[in-house]
């Protein structure tokens, strides 16, 4: 039995995603999500400016949910622990999860808050700006984590973020580590004053260049800057650091291999980069659980490829590839 657990959280919601290769136990993926509204325009507006858009649609996303769905599309069985509102968005989201093969047995609907949402504006180059309203996500608590402890502690990989209360995210990491579960931490959104325990409880610390700059105070403008960031994060207690660099791929550095490595990405024309980082993290959790014998550098190359596929289509989850549509040498 192999399990990959993604604990993705959004300010009070945890979802645990546990991947199994046999049906002895129900697999579960835990993560948080919000509804997405995408507006497409030629450029991003300046402060106080009104501009005309070209296209609008409502989709599904949220970092934890995105990562869970990408893992599921690669073959992971997933289930969800979270809260959504008793509203049309919440109903639609539950239906979307089921459509993607995610168990909704632990999805609670509440009348005390609306379903969390994110409004996204995307320009013609695929760049975006995002505003998030957490809503019902804030109502998931530490007690929900404890109720999901059996899932978390029996996983192969636990993935946490900062889209819920940091203390709850750290608690999830500690629960996983105490049970011998490999931890993958995605510090998004980044906090300049991140609790030092996040570094020491992360087997793999995966952030993008913007998050790396916020965490370390080091401006990231080139690969040399990224290498400085990686070394500093190792000094803070991380075992393996991966800094994603968008179209430039990734930089990785570890305690075991302290010489930084640049892993380039496929060169593609980006249509919409929204959620590409989540595609990468979801794929990485999948490979860590199902192909643990692979060198991490090879996993990262495969994740780069999968994320590069996602940016060639509009939307977030709607752009994520299925296993059947990917080259079979990825598996």
What is the model's pLDDT at position 38?
56
Distance CA 324, CA 331 (A): 10
How much is the pLDDT for 186? Answer: 94
| Alpha-carbon separation of residue 10 from 33, 55, 116, 162, 200 (angstroms) | 6, 27, 9, 7, 22
Task: Return the pLDDT at 239.
Answer: 96
Is there a contact between 32 and 62 (Cβ–Cβ < 8 Å)? Answer: yes
Residues making up the binding site for substrate: 62-66, 163, 278
What sign has the CA pseudo-torsion 254, 202, 107, 59? negative
The pTM of the full predicted model, rounded to 2 decimals, is 0.82
> Which residues are known binding-site members for K(+)?
272, 274, 310, 313, 315, 319
* CA atoms of 112 and 91, how far apart (whole Å): 15
- Provide the annotated active-site residues: 278
Task: Identify the CA nearest to 229 among candidates 247, 250, 201, 249.
Answer: 250
Tokens 């090879």 correspond to 298
CA distance 150 to 144: 12
Give me the DSSP letters along 284-318.
HHHHHHH-TTS-HHHHHHHHHHHHHHHTTSSSSGG
**Could you read off the pLDDT tens digit of each residue along the chain, which spans 331 residues?**
333 444 443 333 433 333 322 222 334 344 534 455 556 678 888 888 888 888 777 778 778 788 889 999 999 877 777 778 899 989 998 898 899 987 787 777 889 988 888 787 888 887 877 777 778 877 878 888 888 888 888 888 888 888 778 888 898 899 999 999 999 999 988 999 999 999 999 999 999 999 999 999 999 989 999 999 999 999 999 999 999 999 999 999 999 999 999 999 989 999 988 899 999 999 999 999 899 999 999 999 999 999 999 999 988 898 999 999 999 999 9
274 CB-near residues (< 8 Å, 6+ apart) = 36, 38, 61, 120, 122, 128, 130, 315, 316
Task: List the binding residues.
Answer: 62-66, 163, 208, 244-249, 272, 274, 277-278, 304, 310, 313, 315, 319
Residue 232 neighbours by CB distance under 10 Å: 16
Handedness of CA 39, 44, 46, 51 (dihedral sign): negative
């Amino acid at each position: 039995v192999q399990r990959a657990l993604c604990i993705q959280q959004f300010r009070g919601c945890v979802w645990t995603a546990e991947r199994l290769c046999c049906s002895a136990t129900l697999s579960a993926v835990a993560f948080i999500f919000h509804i997405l509204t995408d507006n497409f325009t030629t450029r991003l507006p300046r402060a106080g400016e009104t501009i005309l858009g070209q296209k609008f649609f409502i989709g599904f996303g949220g970092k934890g949910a995105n990562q869970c769905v990408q893992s599921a599309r690669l073959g992971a069985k997933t289930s969800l622990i979270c809260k959504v509102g008793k509203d049309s968005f919440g109903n639609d989201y539950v239906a979307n999860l089921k459509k993607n093969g995610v168990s909704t047995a632990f999805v609670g609907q509440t009348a005390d808050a609306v379903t969390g949402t994110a409004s996204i504006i995307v320009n013609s180059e695929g760049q975006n700006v995002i505003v998030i309203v957490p809503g019902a996500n804030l109502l998931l608590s530490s007690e929900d984590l404890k109720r999901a402890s059996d899932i978390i502690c029996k996983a192969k990989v636990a993935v946490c973020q900062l889209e819920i209360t940091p203390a709850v995210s750290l608690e999830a990491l500690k629960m996983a580590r105490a049970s011998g579960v490999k931890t993958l931490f995605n510090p998004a959104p980044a906090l300049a004053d991140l609790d030092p325990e996040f570094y020491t409880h992360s087997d793999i610390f995966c952030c993008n260049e913007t998050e790396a700059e916020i965490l370390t105070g080091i401006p990231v403008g080139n690969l040399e800057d990224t290498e400085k960031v990686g070394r500093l994060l190792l000094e803070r207690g991380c075992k393996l650091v991966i800094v994603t660099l968008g179209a430039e791929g990734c930089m990785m550095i570890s305690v075991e291999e302290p010489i930084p490595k640049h892993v380039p990405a496929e060169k593609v024309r980006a249509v919409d980069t929204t959620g590409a980082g989540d595609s990468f993290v979801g794929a990485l959790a999948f490979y860590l659980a199902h192909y643990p014998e692979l060198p991490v550098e090879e996993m990262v190359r495969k994740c780069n490829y999968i994320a590069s596929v996602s940016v060639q289509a509009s939307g977030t989850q709607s752009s994520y590839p299925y296993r059947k549509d990917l080259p079979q040498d990825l598996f």
